[in-house]
Chains A and B, each alone.
Chain A
């Protein structure tokens, strides 16, 4: 008994000690940066305190009883039981407390589900394993993948996650929204169910294949807000974060202009050295292929074919190119890749991952008609 107490005290001290050493983690729900997220926080605290209060009452009575009403103290058991008055009281009081909780909860729920009168709409599409964002008002469209640093570290045994800033919570291209605007999100998925969650906004919403869900946010404070997919969506479910940057309107307008210009640019089809092709090819591979075929190209036995030694990969590059762009019943088609990316990727997979075909492909060889200027 005494030992158990010591152990318990030790653990509490350990926990406190750790808290002093690392003050960067939180114990409680974050307040977030929207009105809804603040209301949810208040609701959370209200219910939490009610629970703590009830807990103190019930456990207090129980521990009083455990301390005083024990046989070893010579306490003789009373034989009372059934008391209608008491039983009615402890049914009615909780009911009243619940009604008291339901009122603010309903208000917040109404607020949360309001997506009317938005200023702009962004389509969020879940993919295995990244997010695809499309601004329905201005045709900005891009993919948002886990950043390369996190990608490499989590796939390399022994690599140190602490060496990467925002490990697993960083992306290559963040979503950008203006502050003080009501942004409506329409969410869907191209493959399995995903769920889009930014805790600072106060909600998550499932992205269901074939259906569209709606949600909205109104951010007042510029900043970078991070989140993750929260519905199990396969092997890399843990590796598809969300980053949203909220900007002042002027900055946002500038970002839109710049992004639209970049989007219009044709890919640079000039020749590259083998080393350049391999380096760029690795980036394309990490973004598009690594989730299934793995960092070493070994695939997953019984599920996903290996690229190492694959006849398709090491055969004629023209047929590999066609295969890639057409897809199969298991593999999505990668017609989104431009000629430059295809050349880099093909050179990489044919001369790396244990393959040694020895050829280099230049962007001009793999270019499609609309890649040309």
Chain B
């Protein structure tokens, strides 16, 4: 008995109002998962606009045939940097930010398992992205060999100036940052769940991030290895990828896509997790198949390791290779289909309302599925001999990234901002943002299917005149989409500064507390939460297993 009292006293002592430190130093030295989550999310938002500005340059140049604004090499730098910034600076960090905020809240943990490493992984990300961005101002310009950095192009003295080693070191930093983040997430999920929360009680967002974290740990070192080989080929006279020295440029493609394919799932699995979190809340129904969603996520993650060469159908694979990678890739449609059917079944016979997070989530399900369809079309190897490296693939992966990952990140912002800040966002502006985005994103990307099928290759700054009309429409969609994202920026700032001023309940959304733990906490969230783990966890999504 006395031991308990002692501990209590000590606890109280340690806890004399542990608010955040004041001033700028709070953000530099913070180890609080909410602060670090905020840093990640704001950084990602900033990079979304940087990468978006590059996309605007691309769409402006492609508005009309002929070269109007930029030099072809700078155009290539823009496509390269747009991809690198969006992948490594915007989408991935945004999901790490969500993980930082949400995983401890959802599993009843006081913080991430490794808070100091958490701080370090954020600041290493900033260093990595700034290093990458600095290449824009270097002699010879930023890397312009495509984000895939294929040799020998990326090693060529007439193609790349001083930027290469900086870009490679930046990739190393980003890789270390991601791996540290992933280790932290795994350690947190395995060790810091509320005692009564079994693995199969975890919200799907936590599950998808757990699986994503393993993908990150598995493949980021592979990418680091590939770019290090580029570095030694360039500066230390090795010949990993140089045929004249006994190497093979296609070897790089194999290594890159062994990283690259899981990488694209690193950006989509947490997306699935957020969608599976939001849809049940607004359908006022449990997720239809919790266990099958977990298994589907695991299957997709596993398959991501054995399908890489479908990015390389035209490099000259042996027939057996073409057939194997075609079949393996087609299989992915099964677990992905299971997910889409599950979301649909979750909505079926629900009592739906359509607040902004739900609108973005529904658009995600529809438009991601369209990206999935084109993915299935491209898995058919012989057809890919036509589709490969055209605007068809550009349309495909943008459908799976923009109206999928990015829309879900927006949905997550609308969904959780009121909980995080204690302020409600302006629903009218939110809906306006949604409708402009969903229309313009389709005007932007749908015509690119036509362009690709009609024969327009990707990564060209100028094109034959028969591609002019759809390019112009696509550019108009792009400009509208780009500008309308400023509405989101406005909403984020406005909500942080007070929003509509209406009082936000602890649950925020009707009966949300039935679905996940964070809604049982007070709004606005205190700086420290779950200093005592919750004794009961909501398991509405897993009723059958209880």
Contact = CB atoms under 8 A, between A and B. Distances in A.
Interface string A18-41: 100010111111100000110110
B347 A69 contact: yes
A326 interface: no
B260 to A, nearest CB: 15
Interface residues of B, number: 109
Interface string A97-125: 01001100110111111000000000000
Contacts of B473: 14-15, 18
A43 B353 CA distance: 41
Interface string B455-481: 101111111111101100100000000
Contact of A58 (B284, B288, B344): B344
Given A58-B344, A208-B316, A69 B352 contact: yes
A25 B471 CA distance: 12
A47 B327 contact: no
A111 B322 CA distance: 13
B67 interface: yes
A213 B340 CA distance: 40
A28 B455 CA distance: 10
B347 A82 contact: no
A66 B385 contact: no
A44 B250 contact: no
A202 B65 contact: no
A206 interface: yes
A58 B461 CA distance: 38
Given A47-B376, A193-B152, A95 B334 contact: yes
A277 interface: no
A83 B349 CA distance: 15
Interface stretch (A86-94, A252-260, A310-318, A346-354): A86-94
B232 interface: no
Nearest to B155: A192
Contacts of A153: 66
A24 B389 contact: no
B433 to A, nearest CB: 12
B66 A81 contact: no
Given A82-B288, A91-B334, A234 B457 contact: no
Contacts of A86: 345
Given A4-B439, A98-B333, A303-B157, A87 B457 contact: no
B338 A203 contact: no
B457 to A, nearest CB: 4
B326 A77 contact: no
Contact of B373 (A51, A79, A235): A51
Nearest to B459: A232
A234 B284 contact: no
Given A30-B455, A69-B350, A157-B67, A7 B386 contact: no
A82 B288 CA distance: 6
Interface stretch (A164-172, A267-275, A362-370): A164-172
A264 interface: no
B3 interface: no
B324 to A, nearest CB: 11
11 contacts: A25-B454, A27-B450, A40-B383, A66-B362, A69-B350, A79-B285, A109-B326, A193-B249, A232-B145, A234-B158, A236-B72
Given A18-B473, A54-B373, A197-B389, 17 more contacts: A28-B450, A61-B348, A62-B365, A62-B366, A65-B347, A69-B350, A90-B337, A94-B337, A98-B330, A101-B330, A157-B67, A210-B242, A210-B248, A234-B145, A292-B158, A301-B140, A303-B160
Interface of A: 1, 3-4, 7-8, 11, 14-15, 18, 22, 24-30, 36-37, 39-40, 43-44, 47-48, 51, 54-55, 58-59, 61-62, 65-66, 69-72, 75-83, 86-87, 90-91, 94-95, 98, 101-102, 105-106, 108-113, 128, 153-155, 157, 159-162, 166-169, 191-193, 195, 197, 199, 202-206, 208-211, 213-214, 227-239, 292, 300-304, 329-330
